[in-house]
Amino acid sequence: MTAETARPKECGVPDSPKPKRGSKKAEQRAESMEQILDAAEDLFSKHGLYGVTLKDVAKRVGVHHTLLNYYFEDKKKLFDAVFARRAVVTAERRMTAMDEYDAATKGKPTVEGALHAFLDTDLDLYIQGGDSWKNYGALGAQVANTPEWGAELMDSHFDPVVLRLIEILKKALPNAAPEDIFWGYHFVTGALMVTLARTGRIDKLSGGVCKSEDFPAVKARMARFMAAGFLTICGPQAHSSAH
């Protein structure tokens, strides 16, 4: 199942020869907001919440910092807006992919199929979406690994998506213990976050054979690899060898 690159909707040209003044102002405000969010996303993805100031973002955009204060109460509000902008896109696309997969399998999903629906749709955004989506992926990895405030952001945006995956996995593994399925998801999301962080570590370890930027290579392997793990820990002999 392949996701298409998220693109802003194109609006038709109005019939009237001159746009309304209010509409023009709204367009300018929306354009300014996108520039601010893009600049902040790039900076936050590289330096984190605490390594960036509103003045840094304003300088990158080329505006006075008071404009950012007008739009955002503080830096955390800006960060939350940056995170939410793409979170809603990936959450909706993954939810749709899983719903479609669940319906197509008529109540008999497989573990690998469920993971493809959950992972591939998201990975396609990073493959096709350019640097902006890769920056967002790195930002998401930071958020997921910051328990003080990141957990709340992840909960608010992604809990329904994760619980939908768990629901399908329970259908695929009807005899599995719930804790094994949740641990399996925990391992999946850990691997995904390390991948999205693009630390370059695998590049060095592999001598360049593998590259952090190679999301197509990840997509070709991750769901299959993780499915084998689920089947191992959820199988009938899963805990017989535990010491």
Write the pLDDT tens digit of every residue in 175-212.
Answer: 999 999 999 999 999 999 999 999 999 999 999 999 99
pLDDT digits (tens, 9 = 90+) for 45-83: 999 999 999 999 999 999 888 888 888 989 999 999 999
Compute the distance between CA of residue 191 and CA of residue 189 in angstroms, rounded to an integer: 5
Q: How far apart are CA 162 and CA 94, in angstroms?
A: 10
Residue 173, in any domain of the structure:
yes
- Percent share of the chain, pLDDT over 90: 74
230/136 Cα distance (integer angstroms):
28
Res 2 pLDDT > 90: no
The answer to the question of residue 114 being in a domain is yes
pTM of the model: 0.83
pLDDT number for residue 17 = 43
Domain count, the chain: 1
Residue among 146, 145, 130 at smallest CA distance from 213: 130
Confidence of residue 30 (pLDDT cuts 50, 70, 90): confident
Q: Is residue 20 in a domain?
A: no
Residue 27 lies in a domain: no
In the structure, what pLDDT confidence band is assigned to residue 94 with cuts at 50, 70 and 90? very high
How confident is the prediction for the chain on average, in pLDDT? Answer: 88
Q: The domain containing residue 185 runs over which residues? A: 85-234
Tell me the pLDDT band of 239, cut-offs 50, 70 and 90.
low
* Neighbouring residues of 188: CB distance < 8 A, sequence distance ≥ 6: 115, 118, 119, 226
Residue 239: inside a domain: no
pLDDT tier for residue 31 given thresholds of 50, 70 and 90: confident
Residues 233, 96: Cα–Cα separation, whole Å: 28
Confidence of residue 238 (pLDDT cuts 50, 70, 90): low
Q: What is the mean pLDDT of residues 153-165?
A: 95
Question: What CATH number is attached to the domain comprising 214?
Answer: 1.10.357.10
| Residue among 58, 29, 30, 28 at smallest CA distance from 43 | 58
Residue 25, pLDDT > 90, answer no
Give 64's contacts (C-beta < 8 A, 6+ positions apart).
58
- The predicted structure's pLDDT at residue 155: 93
Residue 18 has pLDDT above 80, yes or no: no
pLDDT of residue 21: 54
Determine, yes or no, domain membership for 216.
yes
How far apart (Å, rounded) are the C-alpha atoms in residues 104 and 155? 28
- Of 103, 127, 128, which Cα lies nearest the Cα of 117? 103
In a domain, 211, yes or no: yes
**Assigned domain for 103 exists:** yes
